[in-house]
């Protein structure tokens, strides 16, 4: 069966390579209209930058709430709405409702979709029943449901046009990520890194929902979709590049989940995304580099074949998922214009690569507290070129099973999780929501049972010693790998950022504030407390000649689970209670979309 799929994929390649370029140029064009927000990521480059400038650094202080919308769902609300012409599409966590709202008719609900899903999928969703949003293309809205059903809805009526099953929740696969429409395909990843899923990126035909290709994160070459031209750091990866780095059949439960954001360069015709942690969290149980978990992938969207890969954290020992977004920008390095890819990894390193070739240009800590590595070997002639140097004091593999390794920074949450950063071509800076949390980590032996958690480590988390802020919102220069400014936040910043031509950058906080800061200096210009903590992404659009800023609030996710009760200082001794601020003292559950604009003149 699988063989047949690949055969289909290869056959399809020949056809599409010739004819398909025009199929969805429409969407690419639409994404360049700043009045709309037609992709979950804003545009293919994942810059989350808007050319709208009606709201700017001078007047943003006057921002007001224009209207609000309750989603009727209590769980953690990640992602953000799409805006296509007069229509806004709002999604929710499980049960994964979608509302189509007509902005020109006093925000009336035109249609609502609510799938019937087996609630048994809920506890398979590791850390809350989040969903990161819907995609638009070819007159359809695409939703990846918790139960891994990918559904295509008629954008006008909400009618189901087709469905496809992307995984099996009874084996630990779930759907949380946002699909991405690229040409005549819908691309979607899968969750389940804590359940031993052999994860994959899959492309479905936009018209029929038929699977066109599927590239796994680990396994034999025909499942990885790699060939003799696939490279890492300029060198061919060779045959069986993944199989050689796992013991026996462990790759079959190897993880490498793909639930992050997807970006695309139409000129290079390459799709970029990251793969997550290898299963289990106990590194002793899976010797080897565990390729290609923790990897940046560059694939051809027509065939799925990988052009290049780069594994950031070989043989993970800390759950530093590599799924975070790849932001594409064109900047000059050493006077030469480069096509760049910038990625803020969970492992605390900010990477800049040449996105055409996969050449590594910059790898530096974007939180000075990162202490598991002394840095990445940048010497091209070194045998460990491109590898991070792991410090013994932070190595949970060296310490071994049943040993508690203390004071590792960052925590398993990463210096940043899925919450996407923004990039402004004007300031040439990245605006990064970060976590500032460290951990103790103790691996131990676990057994694998299909559909059951496969974790294998105990961990406890706390802010870096001597500090109380659990987050920072930073501006980062991706060319030099330097922090330009950094604002402390009491809690991890778990909201996607938005940069605008108005010189303003927006983000949300876990307490529930929507904040606007000056893009050049980070100075806070505005804040408003929404009904619940924000783990959604900030969006902007224009309607009726007016610029709006919208954000979903609704606390939850990993952040809500880890921080609800407050973290404790492990050195405080017996009986220490609530050493740090508890999120539950600031906010409670509930999904609301809050939309802001300037007051009428």
Which residue carries 């840095």 as its tokens?
Answer: 375
The residues of the shown chain that bind another protein, judged by CB under 8 A, are: 74-76, 94-95, 119-120, 122-124, 126-129, 194, 281, 404, 440, 442, 444-447, 449, 452-461, 555-557, 560-562, 564-570, 572-579, 583-584, 589
State both tokens at 367: 């939180």
Strand partners, 506: 498, 516
State both tokens at 191: 């969750």
Minimum separation from the CB atom of position 502 to another protein (A):
33
Specify the 3-state DSSP secondary structure of 53: coil
CB 567 within 8 A of CB 470: yes
Distance CA(27)–CA(332), nearest Å, equals 28
Handedness of CA 211, 217, 219, 224 (dihedral sign): positive
CA-based nearest residue to 435, from 570, 563, 542: 563
Task: Report the DSSP pairing between strands 270-274 and 295-299.
Answer: antiparallel
- Element spanning 460, H or E: strand 457-462
Residues 6+ apart with CB under 8 A from 26: none
Sheet (strand 140-144) strand order: 135-137, 140-144, 149-154, 160-165
Choosing from 319, 321, 345, 477, the catalytic residue is 319
CA-based nearest residue to 468, from 366, 568, 564, 585: 568
Residue 333, Cβ density class (10 Å: 0-12 exposed, 13-18 middle, ≥19 buried)? middle
Helix, strand, coil percentages for the chain (3-state, nearest 5): 10, 35, 50
Distance CA(42)–CA(350), nearest Å, equals 21
Alpha-carbon radius of gyration of the chain: 22
SS3 string, 347-364, reads CCEEEEEECCCCCEEEEE
Other CB atoms within 10 A of residue 47 CB: 23
Residues 6+ apart with CB under 8 A from 539: 37, 42, 80, 81, 83, 498, 549, 550, 551
CB 47 within 8 A of CB 327: yes
CB 153 within 8 A of CB 143: yes
State both tokens at 530: 């929404």
Residue 319 among the catalytic residues: yes
Minimum separation from the CB atom of position 590 to another protein (A):
10
CA-based nearest residue to 204, from 173, 179, 174: 179
Which residues are known to be catalytic?
319
């Amino acid at each position: 069966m699988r063989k047949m799929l690949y055969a289909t994929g290869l056959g399809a390649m020949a056809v599409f390579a010739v004819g398909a370029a025009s199929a969805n140029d429409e969407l690419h064009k639409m994404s360049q209209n700043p009045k709309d927000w037609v992709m979950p990521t804003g545009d293919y480059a994942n810059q989350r930058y808007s050319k709208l400038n009606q709201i700017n650094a001078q007047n943003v202080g006057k921002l007001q709430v224009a209207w609000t919308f309750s989603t009727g769902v209590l769980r953690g609300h990640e992602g953000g709405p799409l805006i296509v012409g007069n229509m806004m599409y709002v999604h929710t966590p499980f049960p994964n409702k979608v509302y189509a709202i007509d902005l020109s008719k006093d925000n009336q609900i035109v249609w609502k979709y609510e799938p019937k899903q087996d609630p048994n999928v809920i506890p398979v969703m590791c850390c809350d029943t989040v969903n990161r949003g819907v995609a638009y293309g070819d007159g359809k809205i695409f939703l990846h449901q918790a139960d891994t059903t990918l559904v295509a809805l008629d954008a006008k009526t909400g009618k189901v046009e087709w469905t496809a099953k992307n995984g099996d929740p009874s084996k630990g696969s779930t759907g949380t990520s946002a699909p991405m429409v690229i040409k005549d395909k819908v691309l979607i990843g899968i969750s389940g890194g804590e359940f031993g899923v052999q994860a994959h990126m899959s492309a479905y035909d936009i018209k029929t929902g038929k699977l066109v290709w599927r590239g796994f994160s680990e396994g034999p070459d025909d499942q990885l979709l790699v060939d003799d031209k696939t490279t890492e750091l300029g060198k061919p990866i060779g045959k069986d590049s993944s199989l050689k780095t796992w013991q026996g059949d462990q790759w079959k439960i190897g993880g490498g989940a793909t639930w992050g954001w997807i970006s695309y360069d139409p000129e290079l015709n390459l799709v970029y995304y990251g793969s997550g942690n290898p299963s289990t969290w106990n590194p002793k149980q899976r010797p080897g580099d565990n390729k290609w978990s923790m990897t940046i992938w560059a694939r051809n969207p027509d065939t799925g074949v990988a052009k290049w890969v780069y594994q950031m954290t070989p043989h993970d020992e800390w759950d530093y998922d590599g799924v975070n977004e790849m932001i594409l920008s064109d900047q000059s390095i050493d006077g030469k214009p480069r096509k760049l890819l910038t990625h803020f990894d969970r492992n605390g390193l900010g990477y800049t690569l040449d996105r055409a070739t996969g050449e590594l240009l910059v790898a530096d800590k974007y939180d000075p507290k990162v202490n598991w590595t002394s840095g990445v070997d940048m010497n091209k002639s070194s045998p460990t070129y491109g590898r991070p140097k792991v410090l013994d004091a932070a190595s949970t593999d060296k310490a071994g099973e049943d040993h508690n390794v203390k004071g590792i920074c960052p925590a398993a949450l990463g210096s940043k999780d899925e919450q996407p950063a923004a990039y402004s071509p004007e300031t040439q800076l990245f605006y990064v929501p970060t976590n500032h949390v460290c951990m103790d980590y103790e691996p131990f032996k676990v057994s694998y049972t299909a559909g059951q958690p496969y974790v294998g480590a105990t961990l406890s988390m706390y802010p870096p010693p001597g500090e109380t802020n659990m987050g920072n919102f930073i501006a980062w220069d991706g060319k030099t790998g330097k922090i330009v400014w950094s604002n402390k936040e009491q809690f991890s910043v778990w909201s996607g950022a938005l940069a605008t031509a108005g010189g303003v950058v927006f983000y949300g906080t876990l307490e529930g504030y929507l904040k606007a800061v000056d893009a050049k200096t980070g100075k806070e210009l505005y804040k408003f407390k929404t009904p619940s903590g924000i783990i959604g992404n900030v969006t902007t659009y224009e309607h009726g000649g007016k610029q709006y800023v919208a954000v979903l609030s609704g606390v939850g996710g990993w952040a809500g689970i880890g921080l609800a009760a407050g973290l404790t200082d492990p050195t405080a001794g017996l009986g220490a209670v609530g050493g740090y601020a508890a999120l539950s003292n600031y906010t409670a559950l509930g999904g609301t979309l809050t939309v802001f604009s300037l007051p009428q003149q």
